[in-house]
Amino acid sequence: MNGIIRKISIGPDYKGSAMHYIVGQDVLGGKYNICEILKIGSGNIVIYILKDGEIFLWKSFNTNMPISIEYNINF
């Protein structure tokens, strides 16, 4: 299944200490906005951010990290 990712959570304790990243979320003091979260290669995750019309690669996570993925569901 290859859908559009809406949210990822990184870390072993989903409710306690995991970091949550959501498309549309403001980051870096509100100066940037998460514009896209992609699964690439052999399951690695990358997060792109947007500022003033420019897109930047912000973070990447490999498959060794515990990752929970939430996809967009459009009915």
Report CA 65 to chain centroid distance, whole Å.
Answer: 13
Q: Which residues of the chain have pLDDT under 70?
A: 1-3, 75
Report CA 6 to chain centroid distance, whole Å.
Answer: 7
Give the per-residue pLDDT at 19.
Answer: 95
For the entire predicted model, the pTM comes to: 0.88
Strands (E), the chain: 5-10, 19-22, 26-27, 32-40, 44-51, 54-61, 67-71
